[in-house]
């Protein structure tokens, strides 16, 4: 079976991006300036226990400053089991108290979705960018590219999903750069002669007008 360049690049691309669950980039708000929250790719959770979703937790994402401060995030997009995309307004908190079975006060969380989920459901945060409303005393250490674990927590403060690992965006960028470099090298590879291993010579260009020398050139040769 012949593998073309386009097929090979498609396979490499699939391998590079299949394992990436998404990256989270955060800029903390201040009392006078808004911040931002970005999911660079969809992030999906498998629900392991039925209940009401109350917290989307960023586990151990920052060293606590011993205060709890929140910022409103409008229009966070999501879907459940590939249903049409919906949106909800959530609060992002910098240092959340401990939950049953897990986390510490070093956690952050998106709170108050109040969404009923059943065991086996797939809850997906859609790739998107959001503005965080200004908030005084928000932990400045929240400004980061978050690379850690996320989990869904129920209203009763029990873990209700698998733990999702959030990779570094650089792994995605490095993979894409590798694919681009391979493609460029493939295009630049010279055409080789069979068995010679040397670039094929350029075809000779015949002078215009066939084999007849130009009259002026003939006169000068005498």
Residue 155 burial (CB count, 10 A): 13
> Measured between alpha carbons, how far is 186 from 179 in angstroms, rounded to an integer?
11
CA distances from 26 to 70, 93, 119, 137, 165 (A): 14, 12, 30, 16, 17
pLDDT tens-place values along the chain, 222 residues long: 444 444 444 434 444 333 334 589 999 999 999 999 999 999 999 999 999 999 999 998 888 888 889 999 999 999 999 999 999 999 999 987 655 444 457 889 999 899 999 999 999 999 999 999 999 999 999 999 998 999 999 988 889 999 999 875 544 444 444 444 444 444 555 544 445 555 555 555 555 554 555 545 444 444
Determine the pLDDT at residue 105. 77
Residue 17, SS3?
helix
Torsion angles phi and psi, residue 171, rounded to 5 = -65, -35
> Measured between alpha carbons, how far is 158 from 101 in angstroms, rounded to an integer?
7
pTM over 0.75: no
- For the chain, the domains span 1-20+167-188, 23-166
Helix (H) / strand (E) element for 9: namely helix 5-17
> Measured between alpha carbons, how far is 44 from 157 in angstroms, rounded to an integer?
20
Burial 171-202 (b: 16+ CB within 10 A, else e): ebeebeeebeeeeeeeeeeeeeeeeeeeeeee
With DSSP H G I counted as helix, E B as strand and the rest as coil, what are the percentages for the chain, rounded to 5? 20, 35, 45
**Alpha carbon of residue 41 to chain centroid:** 4
């Amino acid at each position: 079976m012949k593998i073309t360049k386009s097929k090979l690049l498609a396979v490499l691309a699939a391998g590079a991006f299949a394992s990436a669950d998404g990256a989270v980039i955060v800029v903390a708000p201040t009392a006078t300036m808004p911040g931002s929250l970005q999911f660079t790719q969809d992030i999906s959770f498998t629900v392991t226990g039925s209940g009401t979703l109350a917290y989307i937790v960023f586990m151990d994402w920052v060293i606590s400053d011993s205060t709890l401060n929140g910022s409103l995030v409008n229009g966070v997009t999501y879907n459940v089991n590939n249903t049409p995309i919906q949106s909800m307004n959530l609060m992002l908190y910098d240092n959340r108290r401990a939950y049953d079975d897990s986390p510490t006060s070093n956690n952050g969380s998106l709170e108050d979705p109040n969404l009923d989920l059943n065991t086996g459901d797939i809850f997906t945060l859609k790739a998107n960018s959001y503005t965080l409303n200004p908030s005084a005393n928000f932990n400045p250490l929240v400004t980061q590219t978050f690379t850690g674990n996320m989990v869904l927590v129920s209203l009763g403060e029990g873990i209700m999903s698998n733990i999702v690992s959030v990779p570094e965006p650089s792994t995605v960028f490095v993979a894409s750069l590798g694919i681009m470099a391979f493609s460029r090298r493939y295009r630049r590879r010279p055409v080789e002669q069979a068995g010679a291993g040397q670039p094929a010579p350029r075809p000779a260009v015949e002078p215009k007008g066939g084999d007849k020398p130009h009259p002026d050139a003939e006169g000068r040769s005498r």
